[in-house]
Amino acid sequence: MLADRTTLARFLDAERRRHPGAVGDLNSLILDVAIACKAIAGRVAHGALEGVLGAEGTVNVQGETQQKLDVLANDIFLRATEWGGQVAGMASEELDDPYGIPAEYPRGKYLLVFDPLDGSSNIDVNVSVGSIFSILRAPEGTGETPGPEAFLQPGSTQVAAGYAIYGPSTMLVLTTGRGTHGFTLDPRLGEFILTREAIRIPETTQEFAINASNRRFWEPAVRRYVDECLAGRSGPRGKDFNMRWVASLVAETHRILTRGGVFLYPRDAKDPARPGRLRLLYEANPVAFVVEQAGGAAHTGRERILDVTPTALHQRIPLVFGAVEEVERIAKYHVENVDSGVDTPLYGTRGLFRAAN
């Protein structure tokens, strides 16, 4: 029975009561985001039955071909959250510039940034996709529609963040800074129900995720780490590893939150103009917040993700996250390679002078 379960609304209300001065605006915004995720889940589930699969025929600011569901999901997010008076502005992967709240709606004290449909390259093959979101505080006292500079806040300033995953079941994973919690959508009730409270990522793992086809472009630190994992029980790590790659950040994150592991989308030389591939504001930052609140770590290889000060709305960045032990090892290897970007086979882990562990 519903009375025996904790709904998302009940959970958020209990959290609000910990802060006597809170008026519930953040709760209302999160619940509006949840409504958007429910609507997107329904469209994803119906797929070809509603004619929403395939390319839209347009290109977004990232230079990527938009899928029909990318555009639809973006519109659902905007419509679900613009009217309630909680947000002053929004930014999306699918929009070149920040979205201003229509004049007929009141403005609030938060900024919402989101990737409306992460992993959209997997839509047509029926692999799990999702939505990622981050909530920031809007600058006070301007009275104007926030420009791009208002969104350029370090991830450590996030008020809340999370993602929805549209798979065999739809789940919403959320943090407001007091742990990471998972809610499963009960389609019979139309409610998100708390099913995983205070998620913790295992401290050690034998599983990593990386796109191995890019190996020739990796920095020496990344090649060293992956080579050691692949060497297995007979190598320096002394244990066998499994490798995974879904090409959906939400799916990768959810797997690591469920059974542990480490994910790498590192800096590489494939496109020198891009120091990384994932978007800082609406992918890396919310994932890092969720992961850290679950006892994990998130890093660029050179610094903690949540300490990075953004310089552009659609800035890309390397991302390594998961079990603390593995993330720290990868960061250590970057330091030991002095960020040279040059492979030195005579002095590397596979050369004549094997580095000590």
For the chain, report the end-to-end CA distance as a whole number of angstroms: 54
Question: Which tens digit of pLDDT belongs to each residue from 110-138?
Answer: 999 999 999 887 888 888 999 999 999 99
pLDDT at res. 3? 60
pLDDT at res. 339? 46
DSSP bridge pairs for 14 = none
Closest CA to 86 of 134, 26, 43, 145: 26
Annotated binding site for substrate: 118-121, 211
Contact yes or no for 206/241 (Cβ under 8 A): yes
Annotated binding site for Mg(2+): 93, 115, 117-118, 283
pLDDT at res. 290? 98
pLDDT at res. 352? 28
pLDDT at res. 143? 65
pLDDT at res. 165? 98
pLDDT at res. 271? 87
Sheet containing strand 242-244, edge to edge, reads: 242-244, 207-209, 262-265, 319-322, 297-299
Annotated binding site: 93, 115, 117-121, 211, 283
Distance, CA of 311 to CA of 107 (rounded, Å) = 25
Cα dihedral 337, 331, 131, 146, rounded to 10, equals -80
Which fold would CATH assign to domain 2-196? Answer: Fructose-1,6-Bisphosphatase; Chain A, domain 1 (3.30.540)
Q: Where are the domains of the chain?
A: 2-196, 207-336
Top-tier CATH class for 207-336: alpha beta
Contact yes or no for 317/278 (Cβ under 8 A): yes
Matching fold, domains 2-196 and 207-336 = no
- Name residues whose C-beta falls within 8 Å of residue 19's C-beta, 6 or more positions apart in sequence: none
Beta strands in the chain (DSSP E): 55-59, 65-67, 87-92, 99-100, 110-118, 129-137, 160-166, 170-175, 180-186, 191-196, 207-209, 242-244, 262-265, 278-279, 297-299, 316-317, 319-322
Low-confidence ranges of the chain (pLDDT < 50): 1, 339-357
- Name residues whose C-beta falls within 8 Å of residue 101's C-beta, 6 or more positions apart in sequence: 82, 87, 88, 89, 90, 107, 145
Amino acid in the structure at residue 280: L
